[in-house]
Amino acid sequence: MRYIIASDIHGSEQWCSNLLKAFDKEKADKLVLLGDILYHGPRNDLPEVYLPKKVIADLNAVKDSIYICMKGNCDAEVDEMVLDFPLVPGVERIELNGVKLYATHGHRFNAEAGGSKLPEGFESGDVLLHGHTHIPVADRVKAGDVELTLLNPGSTSIPKGGFPNSYAVFGDDLIFTVKDFNGNRLMSVSLG
């Protein structure tokens, strides 16, 4: 299976459209969304072409391709009423191509604070997949005494830290690769 992993669309129809074009171009099978789908949030500027109603229609049209969608800190109860797929709160243990990961948005569970924000049961060698920071990561890191693989596709619509708008690809080769929307590789890490 080939997965496109994305986070932080924040209601941008332009970048949601670019994401769905990348999904087709990459010949992906499933889409993994890590939250903050419709609302831009009070700390962010409006993203380009802010049209949440169009994002709703675009994502509902591909709901059968969505493997999982995590609930972000900017996702509200009303968002769950208009989307035809569930927003999964908290953290979820998922498996992609035989690799077990902890998927979350990243605002509650992350590798910060000396490891105190890692999900319950998380151990050295585990993989944490989240968005929220708008900064891509594909690296092995240490959080307190725990060594882990940290994966973040960056932000689809409002990138930070000087990075471009981005998404990630994960396929049968077990390599997590973050790309910009021109298809350029920004970073990668092998999970095999």
34: left (phi over 0), alpha (psi -120 to 50) or beta: alpha
CB atoms within 10 A of CB 10: 27
Nearest-angstrom CA–CA distance, 44 and 16: 17
Note the residue count of the chain.
Answer: 192
Tokens of 79: 């968002």
Q: What is the pLDDT of residue 190?
A: 97
Range of the domain at 60: 3-190
Q: What is the pLDDT of residue 93?
A: 97
87 touches 75 (CB < 8 A): yes
- Which segments of the chain does DSSP mark as H helices, in order? 13-25, 52-61, 77-82
Which residue, chain included where needed, has tokens 């910060």? 112
Q: What is the pLDDT of residue 125?
A: 94
pTM tops 0.85, yes or no: yes
CATH number, position 152 = 3.60.21.10
Nearest-angstrom CA–CA distance, 92 and 184: 29
Nearest-angstrom CA–CA distance, 116 and 114: 6
Q: What is the pLDDT of residue 28?
A: 98
Count of domains forming the chain: 1
Question: Running along the chain, 192 residues long, what does each successive block of 10 average in pLDDT?
Answer: 98 98 98 97 86 98 98 96 98 97 97 92 95 97 94 98 98 98 98 93
CA angle 192, 151, 177 (to 5 degrees): 65
Nearest-angstrom CA–CA distance, 132 and 31: 17
